[in-house]
Each structure stands twice: as structure tokens, then as C-alpha cells.
Homo-oligomer: A and B are copies of this chain.
Amino acid sequence: MAQNAKPARAAVIGGGVIGGGWVARLIQNGVDVAIFDPDPEAPRKISEIMENAHRAITGLTMAPLPAAGALRFASSIADAVGGAALIVEAVPERLDIKQSVYAEIEAAAPADAIISSSTSGILPTDLQAEMKTPERLLVGHPFNPVYLLPLVELVGGEKTAPDTIERAASFFSALGMHPLKIRKEIEAFVADRFLEAVWREALWLVKDGIATTEEIDDAIRFGFGLRWAQMGLFETYRVAGGEAGMAHFIAQFGPCLKWPWTKLMDVPELTDELVQAISDQSDAQSGMHSIRELERIRDTNLVAIMQALKANDWGAGKTLAAWETALYDSAAPEGMSDESGPLETMRQQVPASWTDYNGHMNEARYLDCFSMATDAVMRHIGVDAEYLAAGGSYFTVETHIRHLDEVTAGTEIFATSQVLLGEGKKMQLFHHLYAADGDTPRLLATGEHMLIHVDMQARSSSLPSDMVATNLTRLAAAHAEMPKPDGAGRAIGS
């Protein structure tokens, strides 16, 4: 498969929650975006979404993000789509509106631009029916918040070119998403068919007074919702079926399908009374939080869940890891190529999950920062994925941290690193951790570390490869010109 490639430029038509979410994902991935939305409030709304997205994504990953793309508010659809390789349509769910938008896009867009509709359910064959160049239209259906959730359903219509699907999949993968190619177009595609079924049943439960909105939410998030964040329906049931397997599970559970367990086809009438009941219950459940607060709670939770899954190399965590690998690969070593001073070896926002009962970044997270900084030095001297796979690494044998100042969630922090010693099996490092929250960096901590090169098979100390030894010797010699840092060589309480 060819390398995934971001679109060089993108246009987004429609700046609501979904369009704004696309803008934020594109911008954060370094893509220049032109957006068109006639709503005079659009710039404010988009900037709020971008602020949320920035907060979430800088907490999500420690990988080096590219410089943010530029955002331009276009004066018309024609103005927006000029020069775009990817055009995302996110206007209201009415076929006539969407078709007239496509006509305007076709009149002004580059001939090879892909047109991706964000519709939740309209068939791409219907969307492309009036187009001059229908082969380049597909549905790319994302999920809110678009800047965090990886899923995008790709659905082609009868006239969509297979290459359009492939190019779109490459674009979206490069943006850190998980493109799911849907085999046949049906209304609502796959995910929203489930959401529709659940939503309909939930309305009945409220209407019939079986459960409130809060109770329904709790029935989801304390139970199967936790399962579905990592395995879906079938893999979950495969496990539940146990040794007897999937066929056994179906034999057991199958008959229940005939029982009257859902309201199914009936649709509850959306009377004013029912809408009011839902609205009141929702207020009682969530009204203590503003929408902005709820968005941030949701995003913080999603970030933490995706990071948790990444540590387990599973599901959405795998998508995150692949995106980070690409970010590391494409972050040129320029930032670290100058060896005449300390290397900048980490930079990120303090995630909320790093804070503790004292209201500041937990002491153990200081060592997380220094561990990342050490990893960056290791990569700088050639200890990369390939080197690790070949069986060489450095293990830390001693750590000395001076915790000099507090730092709270959301603050940007960064580390610089100096090599104190690099010879034979030994590498001695000294890191400074700073907060970038004032005119000058505020020193938070220093970390001094002794590392020993190891043979990962024998789990015993060994000499590094010639390549690594050469790089380390050169770096150590350059850093020997710098003064010995304050606090190096200290013992506790001395």
C-alpha cells in the first residue's frame, strides 16, 4: 500500500459541529483549510471548536504535531474550493441543498479534488445523481467530536470511482482516522443504523416512564458501553460464548430475538409533552454543567480512553499509535540537529489525568517527562524502532530528580537535555523541565539519569553498535563544552 498522504489543501463547506470538527482535525494535522459558511456566527463557533480540539489533541499525544494549518473564511463556495485536494461537505441533511452545493463546487474546484459528504444517511447514489463528475463524490461519514473519534465510514455510490475511495482512505488515515469501507450503500450506512435503533427504543423507555434519560445513560456507560469502547458486538459475544464458540452463542441467544423485547417498528410520537419530558430530565441529569464543560469532560474522557487503549495496542489505541508513528517519522530531526546546546527533547500540555489530590502534576509524572526526554535522546543517537528490534537498548539504572516547582493541568511544558557522559556502555543525562507559562521558561525540575546499554536477548549490559557509539561520542563531546548543570552530582538532602 502506498504511504498515506494528507491532502495538500482542503475546503470545508458548512461550519456546524461536524464541519467545525473537520476543520479542527485538518488544521491540527497541518492542512491549510478554507471554510465557507454564510452564518455570521460561524467564525466564533469554529474558533471555539478549534480551542477544544487543540486542548484535546495536545493532551492526546506526546508526538510532535506539525505546525497548525492556516484557516481562511471564504466568501463563497467557489472561493473556498479553489486549489483544494479534499472538499468536505457538511451542510444540513437535505438532498436538494446538498445537490446545489455540489453544483457550485464542480464549477470551481480542481478537476481531481475529492468531494466527501458528511451525511449521516443519504445514499451517495442520490447525492451524485445530478453531478457532472459523480465519480469523485463519496460519503465520508465522521462521528462527533470529529477531531477525536477515529471512525469515518466511506461509502461510494453507483458512479463513485474506486480510486476516489482509495484516495479518501489515504487522506483520512493520514489525519489519524480509521476509514471503514462500507461494501454496499444503504440508508444510514452501518453505525447510524445502530444509533437509530437505540435512540428509538430509548424514546419509548422515557415515554413509558420505564427510565429517565439519566438512568438510560447509566445503563449504557456502566455496562456495555465500556465493552464497546474496545470490542464490538460480535467479538464481545464470541468471548461470552466461551469455549463453545460463536455458533453456540447464537443458538443460545437467538430465540430471544422473537421475544417482545423491543418496541421496534413503532415510532413514538414526538409530542410537545415527550420533548419537554426529555428536555427536563436532561436538565436534571446534566444541567449542572454548561455545554462547554460537558464537551471538555467528554473530550478528556475520550483522550484518556484512547490513551489507555494505546497502552494495550488495541482498537482506537492502535489508530492513535499509527498516527503518532507517522508524526514522529515526519518530524524532521532539524529540531534536534544542532548539538552545540541542549536538545529540546519533549514538549506538550500537562493532561488533566496527570494531576493528583494536591492539585498539581503528580511527582511520578515528572519522571514520565524525563523518560520521554531520555527516549528522544536515544532516538537522536540512533536507538530507534529498528535498533530496538535488533536487540539493543539503554536501561536506566539511577535517577535523581529535584522537584523545584509545581505545574497544573493545561500548562505547556518542555524539556531540554544535556549529555554529561557518553562512553562505553554508559550514558549519563541531565534534563531540565520547564513550564512555558510566562515571559521566560519557569524551571520545574531537573532529572539526572545514568543509563547502561543492554543486549535485550541476554538482558545484560553490552556495548552499543558502532553507529550509536559514534553518535553518542559526538554528542557528548559537543555537550562537554557546556557548563556542568546546577544540581548535577547531588545526593538527597546534601
Contact = CB atoms under 8 A, between A and B. Distances in A.
Tell me what chain A mostly uses at the interface: helix, strand, loop, or mixed: helix
A403 interface: yes
Contact of A257 (B199, B223, B224): B199
Given A191-B219, A220-B233, A319-B222, A227 B298 contact: yes
Given A238-B286, A282-B238, A491-B494, A223 B143 contact: yes
Given A182-B211, A247-B279, A493-B450, A151 B222 contact: yes
A96 interface: no
A230 B353 CA distance: 15
Given A217-B234, A282-B246, A315-B221, A229 B402 contact: no
Interface stretch (A74-82, A128-136, A305-313, A337-345): A305-313
Contacts of A211: 182-183, 190
Contacts of A241: 291
Contacts of A153: 219
A356 to B, nearest CB: 8
A193 B229 CA distance: 19
A316 B301 CA distance: 11
A192 B243 CA distance: 23
A195 interface: yes
Contacts of A197: 194, 197-198, 200-201, 262, 264
Contacts of A217: 231-235
Interface in A285-304: 285-286, 291, 294-295, 297-298, 300-302, 304
A457 to B, nearest CB: 11
Interface residues of A, number: 155
Contacts of A229: 221, 225-226, 228-229, 301, 305
A-B CB proximity, top 6 nearest: A217-B232, A225-B228, A151-B223, A304-B308, A229-B229, A151-B222
Contacts of A240: 17, 144
Contacts of A312: 297, 300-301, 304, 352-353
A236 B291 contact: no
A227 B225 CA distance: 8
Contact of A191 (B208, B224, B428): B224
A149 B223 contact: yes
Contacts of A285: 234-235
A215 interface: yes
B231 A221 contact: yes
A232 to B, nearest CB: 3
Interface in A55-111: 93
A399 B195 CA distance: 51
A210 B183 contact: yes
A169 to B, nearest CB: 13
Interface stretch (A1-9, A159-167, A358-366): A358-366
A218 B151 contact: yes
